[in-house]
């Protein structure tokens, strides 16, 4: 009879099973086994109070039955009563030391308390009793995930998910690891499996909402979070999700408010603390983000991702020694976490400690981080092994790279192009360089064609009277197009004591030199108008603490010659330094190394035409202002002093001596070059024949 009822129960025919259990209890109200089974059934039907009453009665009738104590622990756990659950599980363990489920339950309680070592010990004990105990496999996978041991976590949770395809907790834990590893499609399938079994399962619903946020489906995510809050389930996680939605919509203040609410509900919730710190940093409060997250890590040190975010924020702030200290401490806590080693290596690289970075990168070679593979490829390239560099770049997982910022994909293509170039595979190198350019952003600044009539008009404007009441040192304007090496010349001038080299312009209203060209500058300017322009120009220098007597080098990325007459009149005595290499070399360097100003040139023919037009503007400016044209390859060549001396005379200085900035400007990160040697473009004449012809 009881066997038949058990089968009905297993088949989900709960009405029939319950009717049969109650009939048996009518005849024998103290049947411990039937009391236990009816308690389990009532729990399945959501009547937890009666379920617990029945299971407690079963334990009173048969005080040596470990199974009923375990079931009681499960019910206490469902209510979040961790102390009661621990006591029930421990009593079951004492009654039957080989009961895997009792150890699994104790492990689950310890895991919820954040006691990872204790939880691991119980889960391992459970597996010794039953090597296929899915609760313990899931628990160990969750612990490995919390410790950053991604591959081990995935292995354990995959095994558990295969053993229990209909267990929503296991499927959700499996999905969480897949999600955190960027395997979003697989994570979505596992979440679907969980929700198919239990549509209202809150953990799975939270993860489903996170997947919606990741895909930009904010309305769908919002509906899930609001439903969870209305039911009073996963409150902290739901408030964190609301913060994520607010952040995605650009409402940073609201996002921080939601994260604060989540942390008040659950102070140890690492995702909320991490995303709050990230949002503060986005809002420009980097120092506060660091200090707040540092306190969280000190209070709840068991999560490697919180340590990693703290180290990344410190790196972003340029506080490399502090960041490296955090990485070192995290590695000591989680020595098997290769991802921590990978990020440590990348920070060492950012700090300029290339040899240490490479050693750490080799130790973390198993990491799937694309940036680490690029670091190792760059090291191979710098060591003269371009073939090894190509192999490392080709092993990068395209799916992992697709989830990262475009600049990583762009860097990969540039490294691939340099490796092919080193192997003299010119067409392959060109394809890689153009792919890197395609991944860039920004349209080239518009410049007008300078016809003869425009030239005459500009010459006449430049001959108009200058500003009579001119104060302060006249600036030197430094102009150089992409591929010109202007950064190297700027570094040389910045090495000179007493000079201020200005490159960044943060004014909300830019001055007339750096703003988009204003056609009013082509009209006659009286003394009052010119005085207003010079005050606006000098205001930003004053805010930067630059005295009127300080020599200023003002870098202009792209000079529109139509502004030069105003420069000549408003800033009397202004001079112009034009940096220019051989035009074909400039175009090739632009294609291969990019431009610090960020403008992309995926079409080399269009780039060559624009370069020729921009050079015509510089040539006209050279006619209208006192100018000096310089080739950085000659200026900074070892033993070359003549050009530096002539430039020094032009700048009214006795000498120009290269310092650390100039020496560093000739090498990129990891010792790679920042430009090709003079004449290197000749190798690409056939590949870019049409573009090169424009510059001939």
The reported pLDDT for the residue numbered 172 is 82
Distance (Å, whole) CA 459 – CA 364? 62
The reported pLDDT for the residue numbered 21 is 86
Instruction: Tell me the angle at which helices 134-146 and 168-180 cross, rounded to the nearest 10 degrees.
Output: 20
What domains sit in the chain, N to C, each tagged with a CATH number? 132-196 (1.25.40.10), 200-298 (1.25.40.10), 452-695 (3.40.50)
| More confident position, 443 or 379 | 379
Distance (Å, whole) CA 332 – CA 310? 16
Average pLDDT of the segment spanning 244-272: 94
pLDDT band per the 50, 70, 90 thresholds, residue 640: low
Average pLDDT of the segment spanning 393-418: 86
The answer on pLDDT for 606 being more than 90 is yes
Mean pLDDT of the chain: 88
> Which of helix, strand or coil describes residue 511?
coil
pLDDT band per the 50, 70, 90 thresholds, residue 508: low
The reported pLDDT for the residue numbered 509 is 63
Count CA atoms within 13 Å of residue 255 on its CB side: 23
The reported pLDDT for the residue numbered 444 is 86
> What percentage of the chain carries pLDDT values higher than 90?
42
| More confident position, 32 or 692 | 692
Distance (Å, whole) CA 289 – CA 135? 37
The answer on pLDDT for 506 being more than 70 is no
The answer on pLDDT for 497 being more than 60 is yes
Q: Which of 173-182, 191-200, 551-560 has the lowest mean pLDDT?
A: 173-182
| More confident position, 1 or 375 | 375
DSSP 676: P
Overall residue count recorded for the chain in this entry: 696
> What percentage of the chain carries pLDDT values higher than 70?
98
Would you say 161 and 130 are in contact if contact means Cβ atoms under 8 Å apart? Answer: no
The reported pLDDT for the residue numbered 650 is 93
The answer on pLDDT for 507 being more than 60 is no
The reported pLDDT for the residue numbered 505 is 53
The reported pLDDT for the residue numbered 454 is 93
DSSP 667: B
Distance (Å, whole) CA 507 – CA 495? 25
pLDDT band per the 50, 70, 90 thresholds, residue 539: confident
| More confident position, 662 or 325 | 325
The reported pLDDT for the residue numbered 188 is 87
In the chain, DSSP finds a helix count (H) and a strand count (E) of: 37, 5
The answer on pLDDT for 108 being more than 90 is no
The answer on pLDDT for 279 being more than 90 is yes
The reported pLDDT for the residue numbered 148 is 64
Report pLDDT digits (tens) over 575-595: 999 999 999 999 999 999 998
Instruction: Tell me the angle at which helices 286-299 and 270-282 cross, rounded to the nearest 10 degrees.
Output: 170
Q: Which of 33-42, 258-267, 483-492 has the lowest mean pLDDT?
A: 33-42
Residue 501 pairs in a beta bridge with 553
pLDDT band per the 50, 70, 90 thresholds, residue 639: low
The reported pLDDT for the residue numbered 540 is 79
The reported pLDDT for the residue numbered 30 is 85
pLDDT band per the 50, 70, 90 thresholds, residue 50: confident
| Global pTM exceeds 0.85 | no
CB proximity list for 258: less than 8 A, separation 6 or greater: 239, 240, 242, 243, 246
Q: Which of 296-305, 409-418, 437-446, 662-671 has the lowest mean pLDDT?
A: 662-671
Strands (E), 328-472: none
Give the residue from 205, 157, 197, 191 showing the smallest Cα distance to 177. Answer: 157
**Dihedral sign, CA of 497, 502, 503, 507?**
positive
**Exposure string for 629-662, b = 16+ CB within 10 A, e = fewer:** ebbbbebbeeeeeebbeebbebbeeeebebeebb
| More confident position, 236 or 509 | 236
Distance (Å, whole) CA 199 – CA 204? 9
Average pLDDT of the segment spanning 300-323: 92
Whose tokens are 């190792």? That residue is 376
Q: How far is CA 223 from CA 218, 236, 238, 245, 277, in A?
A: 9, 16, 11, 11, 25
Largest CA distance in the chain: 117
């Amino acid at each position: 009879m009881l066997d038949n009822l058990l089968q009905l129960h297993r088949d989900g025919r709960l009405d029939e099973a319950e009717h049969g259990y109650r009939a048996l209890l009518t005849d024998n109200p103290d049947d411990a086994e039937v009391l236990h089974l009816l308690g389990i059934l009532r729990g399945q039907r959501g009547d937890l109070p009666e379920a617990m009453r029945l299971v407690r009665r079963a334990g009173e009738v048969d005080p040596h039955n470990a199974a009923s104590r375990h079931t009681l622990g499960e019910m206490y756990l469902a209510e979040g009563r961790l102390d009661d659950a621990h006591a029930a599980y421990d009593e079951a363990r004492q009654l039957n030391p080989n009961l895997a489920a009792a150890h699994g339950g104790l492990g689950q309680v310890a895991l919820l308390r954040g006691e990872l070592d204790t939880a691991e010990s119980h889960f391992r004990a459970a597996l010794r009793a039953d090597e296929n105990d899915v609760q313990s496999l899931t628990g160990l996978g969750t612990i490995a995930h919390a410790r950053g041991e991604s591959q081990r976590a995935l292995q354990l949770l995959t095994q558990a998910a295969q053993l229990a395809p209909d267990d929503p907790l296991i499927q959700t834990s499996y999905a969480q690891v897949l999600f955190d590893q960027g395997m979003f499609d697989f994570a979505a399938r596992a979440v679907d499996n969980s929700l198919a079994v239990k549509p209202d399962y809150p953990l799975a619903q939270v993860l489903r909402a996170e997947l919606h946020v990741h895909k930009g489906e904010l309305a769908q995510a919002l509906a899930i979070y609001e439903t969870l809050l209305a039911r009073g389930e996963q409150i902290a996680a739901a408030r964190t999700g609301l913060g994520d939605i607010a952040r995605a919509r650009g409402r940073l203040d609201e996002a921080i408010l939601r994260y604060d609410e989540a942390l008040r509900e659950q102070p140890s919730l690492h995702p909320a603390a991490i995303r709050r710190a990230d949002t503060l940093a986005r809002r420009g409060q980097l120092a506060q983000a660091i200090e707040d997250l540092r306190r969280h890590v000190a209070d709840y040190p068991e999560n490697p991702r919180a340590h990693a975010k703290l180290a990344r924020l410190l790196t972003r702030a340029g506080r490399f020694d502090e960041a490296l200290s955090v990485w070192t401490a995290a590695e000591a806590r989680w020595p098997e976490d290769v991802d921590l080693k990978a990020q440590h290596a990348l920070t060492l690289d950012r700090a300029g400690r290339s040899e240490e970075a490479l050693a750490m990168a080799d130790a973390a070679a198993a990491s799937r981080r694309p940036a680490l593979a690029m670091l190792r490829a760059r090291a191979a390239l710098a060591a003269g092994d371009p073939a090894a560099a190509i192999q490392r770049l080709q092993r990068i997982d395209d799916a992992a790279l697709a989830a990262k910022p475009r600049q990583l994909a762009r860097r990969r293509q540039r490294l691939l192009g340099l490796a092919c170039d080193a192997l003299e595979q010119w067409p392959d190198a060109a394809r890689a360089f153009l792919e890197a350019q395609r991944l860039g952003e920004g349209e080239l600044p518009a410049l007008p064609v300078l016809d003869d009539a425009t030239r005459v008009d500009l010459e006449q404007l430049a001959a108009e009277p200058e500003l009579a009441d001119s104060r302060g040192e006249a600036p030197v304007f430094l102009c150089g197009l992409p591929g010109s090496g202007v950064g190297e010349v700027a570094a040389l001038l910045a090495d000179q004591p007493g000079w201020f080299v200005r490159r960044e312009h943060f004014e909300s209203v830019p001055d007339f030199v750096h703003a988009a060209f204003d056609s009013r500058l082509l009209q006659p300017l009286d003394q009052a108008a010119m005085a207003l322009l010079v005050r606006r120009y000098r205001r930003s220098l004053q805010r930067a603490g630059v005295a009127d007597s300080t020599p200023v080098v003002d870098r202009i990325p792209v000079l529109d010659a139509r502004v030069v007459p105003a420069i000549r009149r408003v800033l009397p005595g202004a001079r112009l330094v034009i940096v220019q290499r051989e035009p074909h070399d400039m175009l090739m360097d632009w294609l291969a190394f990019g431009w610090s100003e960020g403008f992309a040139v995926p079409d080399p023919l269009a780039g060559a035409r624009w370069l020729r037009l921009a050079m015509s503007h510089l040539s006209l400016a050279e006619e209208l202002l006192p100018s000096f044209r310089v080739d950085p390859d000659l200026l900074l060549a070892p033993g070359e002093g003549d050009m530096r001396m002539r430039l020094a005379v032009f700048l009214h200085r006795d000498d120009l001596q290269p310092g650390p900035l100039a020496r560093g400007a000739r090498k990129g990160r990891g010792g790679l070059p920042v430009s090709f040697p003079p004449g290197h473009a000749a190798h690409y004449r056939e590949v870019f024949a049409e573009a090169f012809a424009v510059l001939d």
